Amino acid sequence: MAEQPQPISPVKNFFAGGFGGVCLVFVGHPLDTIKVRLQTQPKPQPGQTPLYSGTFDCFRKTLVGEGVRGLYRGMAAPIIGVTPMFAVCFFGFGLGKRLQQRTPDDVLTYPQLFAAGMLSGVFTTAIMAPGERIKCLLQIQAATGETKYSGSLDCAKQLYREAGIRGVYKGTVLTLMRDVPASGMYFMTYEWLKNILTPEGKSVSDLSAPRILFAGGLAGIFNWAVAIPPDVLKSRFQTAPPGKYANGFRDVLRELIREEGVASLYKGFTAVMIRAFPANAACFLGFEVAMKFLNWVAPGL
> Domain segments of the chain: what residues?
11-42+52-198+207-297
pLDDT score of 131: 85
- pLDDT band of 217, cuts 50, 70, 90: very high
> Using CA atoms, how far apart are residues 258 and 43, in angstroms rounded to an integer?
12
Number of Cβ within a 10 Å radius of residue 297: 8
Residues 80-117 have pLDDT tens digits of 767 888 899 999 999 999 999 888 888 899 999 999 99
For residue 108, give the amino acid letter.
L
Mean pLDDT across the chain: 87
Phi, psi of 146 (to 5 degrees): -95, 155
- Alpha-carbon span 294 to 274, nearest angstrom: 31
Determine the average pLDDT of the residues in 121-137: 87
Q: Is residue 2 very low, low, confident or very high in pLDDT (cuts 50, 70, 90)? A: low
Q: Does residue 165 surpass a pLDDT of 70? A: yes
Residues 171 and 95: beta-carbon distance below 8 Å: no
| Confidence at residue 113, expressed as pLDDT on a 0 to 100 scale | 96
Residue 12 identity = K
Alpha helices, H only, 145-268: 152-168, 172-197, 209-239, 249-260
Query: What pLDDT, on the 0 to 100 scale, is given for residue 157?
Result: 93
Cα–Cα distance between 117 and 126 in angstroms, integer? 16
- Compute how many other C-beta atoms are within 10 angstroms of the C-beta atom of residue 164: 10
Write the pLDDT tens digit of every residue in 242-301: 888 888 888 999 998 998 888 888 887 887 888 889 999 999 999 999 999 998 888 877
Q: Is domain 11-42+52-198+207-297 in CATH 1.50.40.10, yes or no?
A: yes
Residue 20 C-alpha from the chain's centroid: 12
The confidence score (pLDDT) of residue 183 equals 96
